[in-house]
Structure 1
Amino acid sequence: MEREVTALIVPAIGAVAKIDAAPGTVLLDATGEPVEEVSEFFATMLACGASFSSLRSYGLALLRWWRFLVAVDVCWQRATRIEARDFVLWMRLVGPAGRRSGYAPATINHALAVIKMFYADRITAGDGPLINPVPDADHRTGRRSNAHHNPMQPFTPGLRAPFRQKMPERIPRHLPDRLFDELFATLRSDRDRALLAFYVSTGARASELLGVTVDRVNVGDQRIGVHRKGSSRLQWLPASADAFVWLRLYEQQTRRPDGEQALWLTRRRPVRPLTYSAARRMLQRANESLGTAWTLHDLRHTAAQRMVDDPKMSLSDVQWVLGHAHITTTQIYLRPREEEVVSRVLAHHRDRSERPTTPPPPPVDTAGYSAEVLAVLFGGPRP
């Protein structure tokens, strides 16, 4: 039976919760109880090296799937590719809270990847359906495209698997210096100014910088230590001198509770570590006063673009600072931006219109030259 996915009422039930015991993240069903099969999947992913932040991302993707299955009255063990297809249609056409604008293609593809991994884990454990509801890509050799990709070469496009969305080619959005100065001037505290200065000088991700502790600040070497997303390895990133000046001003105004190691703290009592939501809200307030819509990730793009535009820095230097596994990821900052190309083309047209025209050469006066001399100069039969 065909479902009218646009008429579905997907209930906002369940949640993703954090627990102290392993695996650290659980998916709660409508009754508030952890879903045991999902917890076992999370335990497997954690044993395979997944980070705790990745588990939360997986949990949010599975939560959407769980809510959709409740709306269509199908238990997860009996889900088929029909449910997977309708789930993608619902995500494309309806989206969260029935706003009818749909999820982004990257969000849909991420959800499909997580659901596919979950069912593959359950099938291996002897639980769930015999066939994964999320299909694989049709490939004659049975191998994943770009499985042994050379990081020095561009990725070769392959056939998309069923239900996967076409990803638009996006150019990273960065703040020009003038707009960044306007944004910086609207901030209300030295903490916010220090945070913004570190974002645009280190190129760290939002969660990486917010996770810095006081013992990972090296003022003498002008570096700050962050744990990289995914690998969790510690990397000491260089920062600007201005960032450390604002950090010093922030620390002079902060009364740090005994034993608190987090570098970034809230300004209101009770004093506690600054969360991603609070940092995002700080930037939202600045956007509201300017009428803009910059994000914390745009600050990372701004740092990357500034470094790429510096002729003294190589692309591999920028790759190291940003923590990219492949240099092809860093190469996206080399793509020309529309407004910059348009400006250069218009300047080119202005230069051509203002360029003085070269006068035509004067006619050759053949008077006084013999026919034989002219034949030698310009060719032709001699008289």
Structure 2
Amino acid sequence: MPGTAPAGEDGPLTVLVRDYLQHMSVERGLAANTLAAYRRDLRRYEAFLGSRGVDDAARITRHDVSAFAQAVVSGEDGQSPLSPRSAARTVVAVRGLHRFWALEGITEGDPARDVHPPLAGRRLPKAIPVPEVVRILEAVDTGSPSGRRDRALLEFLYSTGARISEAVGLDVDDVSVHDASDGPAVVRLTGKGSKERLVPVGSYAARAVDAYLVQGRPGLAAKGSGSPALFLNMRGGRLSRQSAWTILKTAADRAGVTREVSPHTLRHSFATHLLEGGADVRVVQELLGHASVTTTQVYTLVTADTLREVYAAAHPRALA
């Protein structure tokens, strides 16, 4: 049967896809989460091609790629339909695969070159007002080692705009908490593509982290086997992203904040509040670790909306 490899053997497409993912991991330094998403997307692409009897990269046509791009949105390939945003990511993964094959001489041409992802509606970042952020931060009970950790984590996320994966991936040596006389505290964050950046840590977060390092972390570390992680779980190991999410959700519930919040909400709020305070968009880009300023400029739309609302409410001739 076309497209079917003997039992126990990988088909030719599977081998070529694995080589591409290895290239993306080693040569391009793709983050583990992004690599996992690419792997899922390309497995779906392989299955789609197999259903069409295509098991040779050289036989894939532009029509095959276009049909797949439509199938992931409609679910016609027998799998769950994807949102425009997720479908766009999937098509980008397929385009990257074919570009790699063409450059490596595996195929003579690139059948995906002119196939574009479906248009995704612009989704503006969700930020919460400063008073609500403060309520969430102050809702944490710091009477225990885990409480001091929770307060330090949330203060840190809002102070630095770090991704949750960056925060839980920190080791103690990555953060430097100085006295105010020595200048602001700094942290070395490792973002997408293993790119490092230095980000200042505000005084509130620096004090919270310092209190946790002195009065919280030693008690948690005593239960483990010497993990270098900055944020530890109750067993003395590295805190997980899921646990960090739960910490924020618990604090938001205690603070009476009913809107949906996530660790990324604090990152969005960090960026939006900086821009509203007059920060330059390129400075915010650097702090967030965005490769392109275009990504950061999405936040300027949020602040522009705020300006319009204030103008409409305050100017005597704003509305007829």
| TM-score (normalizing by structure 2) | 0.75
Whether 1:65 aligns to 2:45 is yes
2:284 to 303, 309, 318: 318
SS of equivalent residue, structure 1 residue 238: strand
2:205 to 243, 257, 264: 243
Alpha-carbon distance change, 282 to 320 in structure 1, aligned in 2, over 3 angstroms: same
Q: Which position in structure 2 is the counterpart of 1:222?
A: 185
* Superposed CA offset, 1:78-103 (max 9, x none): 5443443333233323499966xx43
Alpha-carbon distance change, 120 to 334 in structure 1, aligned in 2, over 3 angstroms: closer
| Residues 312 and 319, structure 2, Cα contact 8 Å, conserved in 1 | no
Q: Which position in structure 2 is the counterpart of 1:360?
A: none
Letter in 2 for 1:164: P
Q: Which runs of structure 2 are paired with 1:154-169 in the superposition (5 Å)?
A: 162-169=115-122
Q: Which runs of structure 2 are paired with 1:1-383 in the superposition (5 Å)?
A: 35-53=14-32, 54-69=34-49, 74-75=54-55, 77=57, 78-94=59-75, 102-125=81-104, 127=106, 131-136=109-114, 162-187=115-140, 189-220=147-178, 221-230=184-193, 232-251=194-213, 252-254=215-217, 255-256=220-221, 257-267=224-234, 269=235, 271-285=236-250, 290-311=257-278, 313-335=279-301, 336=303, 338=305, 341-349=308-316
* Superposed CA offset, 1:67-121 (max 9, x none): 444566654645443443333233323499966xx43333222211211221333
Identity within the alignment, %: 26
Root-mean-square deviation (Å): 3.5
| Residues 95 and 103, structure 1, Cα contact 8 Å, conserved in 2 | no
SS of equivalent residue, structure 1 residue 66: helix
Q: Distance in 2 between matches of 1:201 and 1:262?
A: 19
Q: Distance in 1 between matches of 2:310 and 2:78?
A: 41
Q: Distance in 2 between matches of 1:322 and 1:291?
A: 26
- In proportion to residue count, which structure has more helix? 2
If asked which structure has higher relative contact order (CA below 8 Å, sep 6+), I would say: 2
| Residues 66 and 76, structure 1, Cα contact 8 Å, conserved in 2 | no
CA shift for structure 1 position 302: 0.9
Tell which structure's C-alpha radius of gyration is larger: 1
| TM-score (normalizing by structure 1) | 0.64
Alpha-carbon distance change, 182 to 37 in structure 1, aligned in 2, over 3 angstroms: same
Letter in 1 for 2:308: V
Unaligned 5+ runs, structure 1: 1-29, 137-161, 354-383
Report how many aligned residue pairs link the two structures. Answer: 292
CA shift for structure 1 position 294: 1.9
Unaligned 5+ runs, structure 2: 1-6, 142-146, 179-183
